[in-house]
A and B are shown apart, each in its own frame.
Chain A
Amino acid sequence: MSVVESNSDFQPTVLAFCCHWCTYSGADLAGLNRMNYPANIRLLRVPCSGRVNPQYVLTAFNKGCDGVLVCGCHPGDCHYVSGNYFAKRRMMAFKRLLEYTGLEPERFQIRWISGSEAGKFRDVVTQVCEEIRALGPLKHSASFEAFAEQGALGTVNALTPANKAEEVVEND
């Protein structure tokens, strides 16, 4: 995927849910081998990919992440035997649902990375971060953006309420 010129300076925030037994170890191995990968990724260790509640993904986007990656053991390798199989079904349905409702496919990805696949970990993280960098920041509603304006001590609520849609249009 080519990087769009105008977005090359954009530093996305990407959250990666990593299973303790495989992907997190793979990330450790990548570190031991002094592999380079983008610092845009934030790792969040979970006991199993089956622990990743889809609400975590939505919350990540709501809290300002531009992309989410869910990683677990390869099918058949789950420490808990079947956790990643459940996760797979869940994520397959959830990813389709998010794309249907208007999320770019690149922003939510799932990968199986084992404890020995340090190179794959580096490649996946690099690729995901670059794809999201090319997409630019995740769009939020006007009220969300206004909230994020740190330090700008403007009027809290200059807008008269009425419908939210209007607020979005006017501030787009």
Chain B
Amino acid sequence: MTDTAPSITREQTARVQTARVQTTRVHTALFAEVTQKLRLRAKELLESGEVVSVIGWEAGRFENQTTPAFITDANKVDRLIFNEYCANTLGKYVLSEKLDGKVAVCVRGCESRGINRMISDNQLKRSEVYLLGLPCPGMVESPEVSHASEPSHAPEASSKLLSKCAFCTHRQPVVFDEYLGTCEATDETLGGLIPKPIDPSERFSDVEELEALSLDERNAYFEKLYNNCIRCYACREVCPCCTCRECFVDQARAGWQGKQNNLEENRFYNLTRVFHIGDRCVECGECERVCPMELPLMKINRKMVKDLTTLFSVPEAGLDSETISPLNTYDVADLEEYL
């Protein structure tokens, strides 16, 4: 193993430093306003019977922690909140919730692209969901719950932008039925208060840094990553692209995936996962956020996105629900490397 391989943390590259976010008064006002509107609309939608359920966030046990909320009773809409700790991307919950009827779901940039993704994958009809668009300034890490250290070593109580939000290109929802922000709450106006969405030229900077390493260093880096994987499959469960009724992992009799945890099997799982979703990945970064081993999974996902983008000049995934994903189509004029 090569010692020089970079450590497998989610620390950002030199070019994309994770910003520390100072919650400002304007911020607080924005969240309060949106929460107010959200509760109001949720109540109306539930009372009118237009939807059977509203998916949003509610407070968790700890301060600065939220958890997904499923509101079916119009009298309980006050549980809904929206603040800078709404880390969960909710889109995929629609698939199980819609079984009872039309569902309203809060969408930011990441959720809306996931919804588009599931519509183009025929998992969902647009008419089955009611999308409540929310303005998103980027979410921050919840310091209390993440690591259990004695107080003197506790992480600095500051607000660090979530890694997935640092790489976000679309903070605002790309599709919605109604928008609950103020009309001024656009990327531009919010950009003055909080870190701007990432510049497209910086989007693949972490992939480029790894690409610049030697083959041995990259091998060592990814071996470390695979060796640390415990195969809890949280990355699969949370992914809006992972909608197979039966995952290859669960096809025990076909025997694709051995159950033993070792380098070979972990590599097999991780590479297959990336390849299955890579051409459709909406880059919401949920896989990386949910990973209990804190593995930088987006560094593999984004490699695939980068290659497909440069090779076949495809647009970002999930911006609409019609574009065919690049590996589901071809062009006779594609670059020829294998003659």
> Which residues on A are within 8 Å of B, measured CB to CB?
54-55, 58-59, 62, 74-76, 82, 85-86, 88-94, 96-104, 110-112, 139-141, 143-144, 163-165, 168-169, 172
B336 at interface by CB-CB < 8 Å: yes
Which of B40-48, B108-116, B122-130, B305-313 forms part of the interface with chain A? Answer: B305-313
Residue in A89, A98, A163 whose CB lies within 8 Å of B271: A98
Q: Which residues in A have their C-beta under 8 angstroms from that of B218?
A: 100-102
Q: Given that A90-B327, A112-B339 are known contacts, is A141 also in contact with B262, CB under 8 Å in the complex?
A: yes
CA distance in complex: A26, B206 (Å)? 43
CA distance in complex: A147, B155 (Å)? 43
How many residue pairs between the two chains, A and B, have CB atoms under 8 Å in the bound complex?
Answer: 121
Main secondary structure of the interface of B (DSSP, over half): helix
Residue in B227, B256, B274 whose CB lies within 8 Å of A168: B227
Q: Which residues in A have their C-beta under 8 angstroms from that of B278?
A: 93, 97
Whether the pair B327, A164 counts as a contact (CB closer than 8 A) is: no
Whether the pair B275, A141 counts as a contact (CB closer than 8 A) is: no
Whether the pair A164, B335 counts as a contact (CB closer than 8 A) is: no
Whether the pair B219, A102 counts as a contact (CB closer than 8 A) is: yes
Q: Which residues in A have their C-beta under 8 angstroms from that of B223?
A: 102, 165, 168
Q: Which residues in B have their C-beta under 8 angstroms from that of A102?
A: 215-216, 218-223
Cβ-closest 5 pairs across A and B: A102-B219, A85-B330, A141-B263, A101-B222, A110-B338
- Interface 1/0 per residue, B15-42 and A, CB below 8 Å: 0000000000000000000000000000
Residue in B264, B268, B303 whose CB lies within 8 Å of A144: B264
Whether the pair A100, B211 counts as a contact (CB closer than 8 A) is: yes
Residue in B219, B279, B331 whose CB lies within 8 Å of A93: B279
A94: nearest chain-B partner, CB-CB: B275
Whether the pair A58, B267 counts as a contact (CB closer than 8 A) is: yes
